Amino acid sequence: MVTDCGIVTTAPYGTWASPVDARTVAAHDGRPSYLGLVGDEVWWTAPRPAEGGRRALVRRRPDGTEETVLPAPWDVRSRVLEYGGQPWAGTVTERGPLVVFSDFTDQRLYACEPDGGAAPRPLTPLSGTGGGLRWADPVLRPALGEVWCVLEEFTGDRPTDVRRVIAAVPLDGSAAERRDWVRELSDDRHRFVTGPRISPDGRRAAWIAWDHPHMPWDGTLVMTARITGEGAFEDIRPLVGALGTDGPDGESVAQIEWAADGTLLYVSDRDGWWELWRTDPDDPAASHALCPARQEEFGGPLWTLGQRWFLPLDNGTLAVIHGRGAATLGILDPVSGDLVDTAGPWTEWAPALTTHGSRIIGIAAGPHRSYEIVELDTCTGRARPIACRHTDAVDPAYYPRPRTRTFTGPGGREVHAHIYPPHNPGHTAPDGELPPFVIRAHGGPTSRAPLVLDLEIAYFTSRGIGVAEVDYGGSTGYGRAYRERLRGQWGVVDVEDCAAVARALADEGTADRARLAVRGGSAGGWTTAASLAATDLYACGTISYPVLDLTGWATGETHDFESHYPESLVGPFAEAPERYRARSPLHRADRITVPFLLLQGLDDVICPPAQAERLLAAVAGRGTPHAYLAFPGEAHGFRRADTITRAVEAELSLYAQTFGFARPDVPVLAL
């Protein structure tokens, strides 16, 4: 057969030749994030897999040239909540840009004036207690000579010995060795806080707060305070939101911003979807929705601090990211409720908006485009990439051709998924052969799988292996009721929904029932391991930096942020300790009888290596083929090019050995 791409070779699924190699996947891993403006310049952090996985701070000058601000090994990344948050803030002084940032290595705040050529200077001290002092979501206050941000302070050696407050750090460096010279602005009545948002007149501050056992998508409070002339907070009180006595009773406020008229804009799910609201801080009972009854999400889960799903524009309209199972950029008229979406190839916008006059700048991708920085001119309606522009690493003919589908799960419930069939312009399979398929469970589990170009998926689909990304019950993007399906049912609903998609693909003849695999990382690693222990549907699985032992999580084996998360996902530990044991893959290891690959970062404090090692001990001597790859210097999620390359090739080798096809182009994984 001959096509426009040349001769098409008939070969079994899984054996197809592909230009998408593992090193290409690794080189393009990650995306730009933490976007902001410094004067007229756009700044962001960018992944550097080839530089040890650091995050570089990058600026785009007005003439369009890009420049890395800080050389290696500077790593602009915060460890607050372990998942981090906005790690930098900038402004322009008479000497040029002034930037304050958190460095990953020691977690100190530093000030940098890049145009002056001087090295960054520390603003905060080190602490030898536990995880030390950490900082995130900064707001510069030049008139006071300070930066205001979240302080996460460890008070002991346990991961849960920690407190968080909003603090003021002097910009002159006087607190670089003096913790007592850091002013605390908020009290520590709440376990978790975001950085402050300052009203246009400078007289009020607002922030989001919540407490254990709630996660921020269960229930949060918007706190407000008056700012005194000396820069202190007084009259601290809640404004809107609700923690609730139980997760379903709460109200999750995911973002707040001040409007020019002094009202407060916020995203709340009080009506079952994250919608935009406006309130008067002096009369919160007068709150009203700006775009009600659309049954779409205008926000998302607050996994990191400083996410921005909306921002007000100078003309009174709002830039909003919204959608159902997707995230599109639109312009909302808050008076009429009219909403106009941006044209272009971008179907997924990250919650990282910034605005400048009539311009909106964001980070966006699509099924055939990687994440890039895009500028929308609201006066002309023109949108264009301005930085991190997508370039085709390989011939785009090898990119997958995904489609979004809705399947039927147990009890007739809807299960959403993105299906990526095998695709390669130079190959076709023999008549009658069905392809192997990998079911991918996303992390979180309170998250979702975006429909964007992912070279790791292309790595498999271009070789003749299909991929299905499942937004199982508990995923975001489909309203609170869909999210709450996982309440008390983690390890049940997620496993069932992934299995429902796998079975449906096999029943309809899309996938080979005998060659199904399941894989996932973090909470997706939990779902993968639980699936292998609960069903004989899958021939193998890839388990990455997983949760494996809920009892360990409930007794101090993870970080503070998620230490009470299983109370909503499984139930209170004190009331149902046997359920924690019964659900955990570690305690059902005797039921795992198919080959699996276990991948683990040795520096992971969220899902520590101890859990992976206990699983290995539990399967030892049982005759279950498996492999364990542990990576020094990697934490929760892999960032280094060599690690990503090894992990991707090992996963392919697992499938080749299990599904019965040859892949001489990758090292053989010893099982």
- Of 310, 225, 319, 229, nearest to 267 by C-alpha is 310
Residue 86 within a domain: no
Question: Is the confidence at residue 5, as pLDDT, over 60?
Answer: no
Residue 88 within a domain: no
| Opening angle at CA 534, ends 531 and 535, nearest 5 | 85
Distances (CA, A) of 575 to 157, 489, 571: 27, 15, 7
Q: pLDDT tier at 285 (50, 70, 90 boundaries)? A: confident
Distances (CA, A) of 494 to 470, 501, 534, 539: 9, 11, 12, 18
Query: What mean pLDDT is predicted for residues 250-259?
Result: 97
Q: pLDDT tier at 247 (50, 70, 90 boundaries)? A: low
Percent of the chain scoring above 90 in pLDDT = 94
Residue 450 within a domain: yes
What is the CA 532 to chain-centroid distance, rounded? 25
Q: What is the total count of domains within the chain? A: 1
Asked if 514 contacts 13 with a C-beta cutoff of 8 angstroms, the reply is no
Residue 101 within a domain: no
Structural domain boundaries, residue 446: 396-659
CA pair distance 466, 419, nearest whole angstrom? 8
The CATH number given to whatever domain includes residue 448 is 3.40.50.1820
Residue 13 within a domain: no
Residues in the chain: 671
Question: Is the confidence at residue 480, as pLDDT, over 80?
Answer: yes
Residue 424 within a domain: yes
Distances (CA, A) of 550 to 418, 573, 582, 597: 29, 9, 9, 21
How many CA within 13 A on the CB side of residue 163?
A: 11
What would the pLDDT profile of 66-80 be if each residue is shown by its tens digit? 999 999 999 999 999
How many CA within 13 A on the CB side of residue 4?
A: 1
pTM of the predicted protein model: 0.96
What would the pLDDT profile of 398-431 be if each residue is shown by its tens digit? 999 999 999 999 999 999 999 999 999 999 999 9
Residue 572 within a domain: yes
What would the pLDDT profile of 599-648 be if each residue is shown by its tens digit? 999 999 999 999 999 999 999 999 999 999 999 999 999 999 999 999 99
Query: What mean pLDDT is predicted for residues 373-393?
Result: 95
Sign (positive or negative) of CA dihedral 19, 56, 96, 378:
positive
> How high is the mean pLDDT of the chain?
96
Question: Is the confidence at residue 58, as pLDDT, over 70?
Answer: yes
Residue 563 within a domain: yes
Asked if 546 contacts 526 with a C-beta cutoff of 8 angstroms, the reply is yes
Query: What mean pLDDT is predicted for residues 190-202?
Result: 97
